[in-house]
Amino acid sequence: MKQLTILVPNGYHNLSSVVGSYEVFLKANAFYQSLGRKPVFKITLASTSKTVKLHDNLFAIRPHLQIAAITRTDLIIIPAVRPDFAKSIRQIHTLNHWLIEMHEKGAEIASICTGAFLLASTGLLESKSCSTHWMAADEFRHMFPGVNLGTDKLITDEDGIYTNGGAFSFLNLLLYLVEKYYDRQTAIYCSKIFQVDIDRQSQSPFTIFSTQKKHGDEVVKKAQVHIESKLGEKISMEDLSSKLNVSRRNFDRRFIKATGNTPVEYLQRAKIEAAKKALETSRKNVNEVMYDVGYSDVKAFREVFRKITGMSPLDYRNKYNKEAAI
């Protein structure tokens, strides 16, 4: 039987991803047994403390073992860590050496939501693909510039390291792992029991574009303010960089460093975020919204909208605006 270790770090704040992981793999084991097969995993909750208190001591978890007692495991699940990421990592840095040691011994590791911060602090994500909650993306890029963060992805899988997007999307990661370690039939069974859509690939429809201004580059901030105030107009990046007295090449370089987007990508995301809000809250049709955010080509608007959200403008409107859909 393989060993699954679900970490319960001190200072950790999200009860659902620990309990959810435990419940899903218990159910997968039980289903396997109902088919006359042996359970795949022995499931262990592990920490550096005998008791971990959560949510201002409202809840407490008593792990099965302390991590020092675990010398071998096949799969490790890292739950979300609390939003003060730098402080969280400092508090649980003792886990780093253990995670590295287990990975060197062949363990695969999966991080849930902001658990990617703990995983990245080990260095195991360096130059690898990674996802985390879209709200934490800016801070993650700042802290771990060597990691290839792609917050549109719901799940990443590279060299035995898995990450996922945010919040309750961790259930999709668990189904992905169940299919990998058990089989498709067991993953489908778990998806039906827990009523989770299987095979979801993107968190893009849920992303709210952040204006990303906590970077300290005043030239880029001025460019951002200009872009955001002219969403209904055509903006020439050549003209904008000239107004800001920087070369286009230097403008692009600084913009990417500050925001993680090229100026054109930033403009597209700002326009589409404005379009999303209009589709959610107004009775305007897709063409009216398209013109409001500065597009005149329906095909181009649909392509950019789908690229950023994973949905067509009409599907997005029907999903998030009940009044307009009716």
Q: What pTM did the predictor assign?
A: 0.74
pLDDT band at residue 317, thresholds of 50, 70 and 90? very high
Asked whether the predicted pLDDT for residue 77 surpasses 90, the reply is: yes
Interatomic CA distance for residues 136 and 130, integer angstroms:
12
- Higher confidence at residue 309 or residue 207? 309
pLDDT of 227 reads 94
Instruction: Find the length of the chain.
Output: 326
Residue 185, both tokens: 């039939």
- Higher confidence at residue 208 or residue 175? 175
If you compute the radius of gyration of the chain from its CA atoms, what whole number of angstroms results?
22
- Higher confidence at residue 101 or residue 201? 101
pLDDT of 182 reads 96
Asked whether the predicted pLDDT for residue 92 surpasses 80, the reply is: no
pLDDT band at residue 44, thresholds of 50, 70 and 90? very high
SS (H, E, C) the chain: CEEEEEECCCCCCCHHHHHHHHHHHHHHHHHHHHCCCCCCEEEEEEECCCCEEECCCCEEECCCEEHHHCCCCCEEEECCCCCCHHHHHHHCCHHHHHHHHHHHCCCEEEECCCHHHHHHHCCCCCCCEECCCHHHHHHHHHHCCCCEECCCECEEEECCEEEECCHHHHHHHHHHHHHHHCCHHHHHHHHHHCCCCCCCCECHHHCCCCCCCCCCCHHHHHHHHHHHHCCCCCCCHHHHHHHCCCCHHHHHHHHHHHHCCCHHHHHHHHHHHHHHHHHHHCCCCHHHHHHHCCCCCHHHHHHHHHHHHCCCHHHHHHHHCHHHHC
Q: Which domains does the chain have, with CATH numbers?
A: 2-206 (3.40.50.880), 218-325 (1.10.10.60)
Interatomic CA distance for residues 248 and 254, integer angstroms:
10
Asked whether the predicted pLDDT for residue 276 surpasses 80, the reply is: yes
pLDDT of 11 reads 66
Asked whether the predicted pLDDT for residue 210 surpasses 80, the reply is: no
Sign of CA dihedral 121, 125, 127, 131: negative
pLDDT tens-digit series, residues 104-143:
999 999 999 999 999 999 999 999 999 999 889 888 988 9
User: Average pLDDT in the 171-185 region?
Assistant: 95
pLDDT of 46 reads 95
Interatomic CA distance for residues 61 and 17, integer angstroms:
13
Q: Point out the least confidently predicted range of 133-137, 212-216, 256-260, 316-320.
A: 212-216
